[in-house]
Structure 1
Amino acid sequence: MKKHSLLALILIAHAGSAMAADPILEPSMASIPAGSFAMGSPTTLAKGDYPVEQPVHQVNIPAFQMSRYEVTVGQFSQFVEATGHTPTLAEGQPPATCWKHAANDWGMEAGAGTWKSNAYPQSPYHPVMCVSWADAKAYTAWLAEKTGKPYRLPSESEWEYAARAGSPHNYHFGADETQLCRYGNIRDTLGRDAIGKLTNKPGAEALCTDGSAFTSIVGMYEPNQFGLYDMIGNLGEIVEDCEHANYTGAPADGSAWTTNCSKDMRMHRGGSFQSRVTATSTGRGHTGATNASSFEGFRVALGMPGPATPAAGTIAFEAGLDKARAAERARR
């Protein structure tokens, strides 16, 4: 009897140590230096009721950190398993709803789908989709609590400053659009064909092939000068700010603009796999605070300057990502 009790205690202790040894898959962070930049563009991509990129205005950005990659399915899964989080539903939508491509006038519809089961191929190292601004906020709050670090969503101006990485052009690599497929997963020739079958609609595409028709494993393309991957394409990235029709009155200190909103919408940046036109450092998109879509995800920021010291979970995440990228390169 004593032997059985001792064995039970050993098993319990082993299980507890195994749980303790399972580190938080903390994002890999890049240090972004302080600086000043001209935010916006003299020409706008906006159509209809989308917010414009004007007026161009000067913004001062304090040093901060930003995750090198978009938050992945595996990282978000760890959060859900730890908290039991259920997605915040948009008004009027049934549970497990996510916008996706469809053959209708819009080219999309709100259909069945969640962050872990949706219409597109994904692995633990793909960027998490079908999450809302509210879900992203819940993730950053959990990550901050677990790590003791003030993780948050980046502001819109922080995002653009980091995406530009010192470039005055619409792309961090310059103005040469023939280079798009080296630096991001956008609507290329593969995407044109695959998305065209789903929507029966044409779309502007880059005349190159980036190796992925839909989303890609994070970090498959060349980074910008700050060491950030996928700042154009893959998924549009939700930021902290609410929607304003233009930049008139925008903060000049790098903070998020969350007052006097023109609509009950949140901003996303960088475009996605479904578009070439909006996949720039300056283009702006909007989404409902509780709206989940296959075209948006997010990355995180830290208001802490200085070198980004990797945690144990970060090292484990990077090791797994390296293997996933190697396998994907071999497949391509």
Structure 2
Amino acid sequence: MELKRKKVLLAILCAFLPGTVAAAETQYTEPVTGMIFALIPGGCYSMGDSAGDGDPNERPVREVCVGDFLIGTHEVTNKQYKLFQPNHGSGSSQGASLDGDDLPVVNVSWEDARAFAQWLSTQSGATYRLPSEAEWEYAARAGSSQSRYWGNSVDDTCTYANVADLTAQQQWAKWTVFPCSDGYAAAAPVGSFKANDYGLYDMLGNVWEWCEDVYNSEAYEKLPKDNPLYTGSGEYRVMRGGGWSNGPLGVRSSHRVGLSPGFGHHSLGFRLVKSTP
């Protein structure tokens, strides 16, 4: 009964958002870039290394609660980012172009990603931002408590994610790879793989994604339960999800890494959150 009530309330909320489309009125199409945002119902979950295969900075596992939020169903593409920075080039890697219109934008810093969000907010009159680390993991898990939103096994990975695989190993022989072939040696067009249960694509694999938080290896011991966001002192910012050059250890829902906010690389991009009324 409570779940049914929540779905009704979410449908009512979306009915008053301009640009809503089908899928039970739980999606919003941003008119400037055409990005689609999915409404994620808030709730509580076990954040961190609940599967027992992670790093110390993913512990202690703790209950975290987040409110409703809208998040991009896909990573921001080169075409969308170039509306903001027409001269941006995502470059290439070992001869593989990363600059196609439908490929995720890469070689963007945390500062670049936040500047894009601010630009889009100004253009559209709505508020866009990077997801908090807690929101990102909640969205990636989509109700799962396993290593990846499709389960703990690595065998099904290439159905759901573009990762370091047998295809990539033909070019990068020393890589540790997943035992499958996803068909892409480098980045794939966004949405090429199966979505998670929230209808979100590439939450794991394809490219890493910037989060809003300052990185702290002991953040899980310091933050509150409700809508945590670490904004304390720290040199780095959080990136999540792993990318096309990562093997099994790097492509997990709880995996977290810190990187300088002024730095970008060939498998690091982002997606945005739209603030709800």
Fold match (TM-score > 0.5): yes
Say which of 272, 276, 280 aligns to 2:243. Answer: 272
Which gives a bigger RCO, structure 1 or 2 (Cα 8 Å, sep 6+)? 1
Say which of 155, 166, 169 aligns to 1:192. Answer: 169
Assess, with a 3 A threshold, how the Cα gap between structure 1 residues 44 and 257 changes in structure 2: closer, same or farther.
farther
Note if 1:248 corresponds to 2:221.
Answer: yes
Which 10-residue stretch deviates more, 117-126 or 234-243? 117-126
Aligned-pair CA distance for 1:303: 2.2
Matches within 5 A, 1:1-332: 24-42=32-50, 43=52, 45-46=54-55, 52-81=57-86, 115-119=89-93, 120-122=96-98, 123-196=100-173, 202-246=174-218, 247-259=220-232, 261=233, 263-276=234-247, 277-304=249-276
Could you say what secondary structure the match of 1:245 adopts?
A: coil
| Structure 2 residue aligned with 1:105 | none
Q: Within 2, Cα distance between the matches of 1:66 and 1:222?
A: 17
**Structure 2 counterpart of 1:78, which letter?**
L
Q: Within 2, Cα distance between the matches of 1:70 and 1:146?
A: 19
Note if contact 1:45-1:278 (Cα within 8 Å) is conserved in structure 2.
no
**Structure 2 counterpart of 1:250, which letter?**
L
Q: Within 2, Cα distance between the matches of 1:213 and 1:41?
A: 29
Q: How many residues align?
A: 241
Note if contact 1:184-1:233 (Cα within 8 Å) is conserved in structure 2.
yes
Note if contact 2:53-2:147 (Cα within 8 Å) is conserved in structure 1.
no
Note if contact 2:141-2:148 (Cα within 8 Å) is conserved in structure 1.
yes
TM-score by length of structure 1 reads 0.69
Note if contact 2:141-2:149 (Cα within 8 Å) is conserved in structure 1.
yes
Q: Percent identity at matched positions?
A: 34
Structure 2: gaps (5+ residues): 1-30
Structure with the higher helix share, 1 or 2: 1
Could you say what secondary structure the match of 1:78 adopts?
A: coil
**RMSD, matched Cα:** 1.6
Note if contact 2:148-2:253 (Cα within 8 Å) is conserved in structure 1.
yes
Q: Within 1, Cα distance between the matches of 2:69 and 2:91?
A: 34
Deviations 1:203-245 (A, max 9, x none): 2211110110111000000000000000110001000001111
Note if contact 1:44-1:53 (Cα within 8 Å) is conserved in structure 2.
no
* Bigger CA radius of gyration: 1
Assess, with a 3 A threshold, how the Cα gap between structure 1 residues 172 and 116 changes in structure 2: closer, same or farther.
closer
Note if contact 2:109-2:261 (Cα within 8 Å) is conserved in structure 1.
yes
